[in-house]
Amino acid sequence: MGCFFAFGGKMIVMKFGGTSVEDTAAIDRSCRIVIERLHRQPFVVVSAMAGVTNDLLEAGRLAGSGKISESLEFFERLERRHEEFLPKGDLTNLLGLLHWINEAGEFSPRAQDSVAAWGEDLCSEIFARALRRLGIEAIHIDARDFIVTDRNFGNARPLWDKTFKKFQIIPEFFKETNRTALVMGGFIGSAVEDGETTTLGRGGSDYSAAIVGAAMGAEEIQIWTDVDGMMTADPKIVSTARTIRCLSFAEASELASFGAKVLHPRTLEPAMDKNIPVYVFNSRNPGGAGTRITRDAVPCQNIVKSIACKRDVSVITVETSRMLKAVGFLGKLFTILESIGVSVDMVATSEVSVSFTLDDSSKGPQVLDALRRPHWAVSLENNLGLACLVGNDLKWTPGIAARVFGSIREFHVRMISHGASMTNLAFLVRRQQLEEAVHRLHSEFFSEFDPKVFAEPG
């Protein structure tokens, strides 16, 4: 991340996720949250309305597999969802795109990005119009004009220097008035060279917000979602989960990477780089304290701050007697994984074998294929779940492992990773036992604390 300019005045980035823009009431609520912060010069990033990205991708998939009439049912559903906000003709080009995909007979990664981007394109236009109706000079900007990425369709990476350069014109927009908000669709970028539409990966609007924050030298990056901040566990799994007031970048990154969907795993990279605080707030409860994520960990009475989990994890094991005292085996293995674009979350090794988890379990068969070598016995295990405890000082705290594994003593634990980072202890169990494991860990580590003082500074 080379070139960077700091915006002279104050400005903040406010990102609203799918449920915060899912219907008229949600859009109105989110617009009012923006209006209350106009004096801070908000750059608003919005997701597609909840469920729209899935519907768009389903429409594209059906069109690509020759089922155009079923695809058009999804199109009509999308049209109905948006018709209360936009003139009907605004979706004509999407209809054309679906017919084109149908004729091509495939839904390529490129076409997937062009189709998926429609959700954010429409929603950002709708959000800007809603602000204007409330008397705000909302300026809609196209993410493609600002976020320049590589050509990795479906999981594109920003090209920092090019992207930061584009943002240099943004302060001009804020100069004239303090009634201005900028509105941009998240998730979308444009490929270097030809400007073709790319996307940053599912859930990528959080990452877009952080990219904008870093490019603008923002005062803070606010992620507005449907829960009261980052919590001690996914509240959909543990109903008694509590909001964590403060987290360090390192802790929040571990949580996001190990399954806490509330933040896209890459969100904190640009924020960390420019040392910009990130807040997670609830758009349905805007008065709540939310979670503040900053560089330094705040001392708090809880050693474990949160428990993240991932369902449907796969493990690959490579066994070979040639590994015994051999040099370079792991190097060779990871070079192969790199060549097929597979990234690994957890690794465990013994004298003659190595096991690792895949961050995308659908790639299991492809990895098995790529690792077929003489003298290597390769196997794939599916249906596992990963639980991960995060806390600033876990590595040096005695007795943690005993409490963790004592609370799930009768469970079959498949793989353990502890001590590589200061902040996490992760392990695998059978997929069916994952939720129960998270419940038990939550009771073990959080039952004795007063929710009101949980993770307060001091």
Q: Which residues bind ligand ADP (CB under 6 A)?
A: 17-20, 47, 203, 225-227, 230-231, 233-236, 255, 260-262, 306
Cβ closest to ligand ADP, residue 62 vs residue 223: 223
Residue 48 touches which of ligand ADP, Mg ion, ligand ASP, none (Cβ within 5-8 Å per kind): ligand ASP
Residue showing tokens 């960390």: 272
Cβ closest to ligand ASP, residue 163 vs residue 267: 267
Q: How far apart are CA 7 and CA 218, in angstroms?
A: 7
Does residue 203 belong to the site contacting Mg ion (CB under 5 A)?
yes
Cβ closest to ligand ADP, residue 291 vs residue 320: 291
Q: How far apart are CA 128 and CA 133, in angstroms?
A: 9
Residue 119 touches which of Mg ion, ligand ADP, ligand ASP, none (Cβ within 5-8 Å per kind): ligand ASP
* Selected binder of ligand ASP within 41, 53, 243, 417 (CB under 6 A): 53
Size of the site for ligand ASP (CB under 6 A): 12
Does residue 265 belong to the site contacting Mg ion (CB under 5 A)?
no
| Distance in Å, CB of 306 to Mg ion, minimum | 17
Residue 53 touches which of Mg ion, ligand ASP, ligand ADP, none (Cβ within 5-8 Å per kind): ligand ASP
Residue 227 touches which of ligand ASP, ligand ADP, Mg ion, none (Cβ within 5-8 Å per kind): ligand ADP
Residue 77 touches which of Mg ion, ligand ADP, ligand ASP, none (Cβ within 5-8 Å per kind): none
Which one of the spans 72-80, 199-207, 233-241, 392-400 is the region binding Mg ion (CB under 5 A)?
A: 199-207
Residue 215 touches which of ligand ASP, Mg ion, ligand ADP, none (Cβ within 5-8 Å per kind): none
Q: How far apart are CA 227 and CA 204, in angstroms?
A: 18
Cβ closest to ligand ADP, residue 158 vs residue 259: 259
Which one of the spans 129-137, 173-181, 198-206, 426-434 is the region binding Mg ion (CB under 5 A)?
A: 198-206
| Distance in Å, CB of 334 to ligand ADP, minimum | 29
| Distance in Å, CB of 18 to ligand ADP, minimum | 4
Mark residues 22-51: x for contact with ligand ASP by CB under 6 A, - for none: -------------------------xx---
Q: Nearest-CB residue to ligand ADP? A: 17
Which one of the spans 17-25, 27-35, 239-247, 341-349 is the region binding Mg ion (CB under 5 A)?
A: 17-25
Which one of the spans 174-182, 196-204, 210-218, 300-308 is the region binding ligand ASP (CB under 6 A)?
A: 196-204
Find how far residue 206's CA is from the centre of its chain. 6
Q: Nearest-CB residue to Mg ion? A: 203
Does residue 71 belong to the site contacting ligand ASP (CB under 6 A)?
no
Q: How far apart are CA 226 and CA 16, in angstroms?
A: 9
Does residue 385 belong to the site contacting ligand ASP (CB under 6 A)?
no
Size of the site for Mg ion (CB under 5 A): 2
Per the CB < 8 A criterion, the answer to whether 150 and 190 are in contact is no
Contacts with Mg ion by CB under 5 A lie at 17, 203
Contacts with ligand ASP by CB under 6 A lie at 17-18, 47-48, 53, 119, 186-187, 202-205
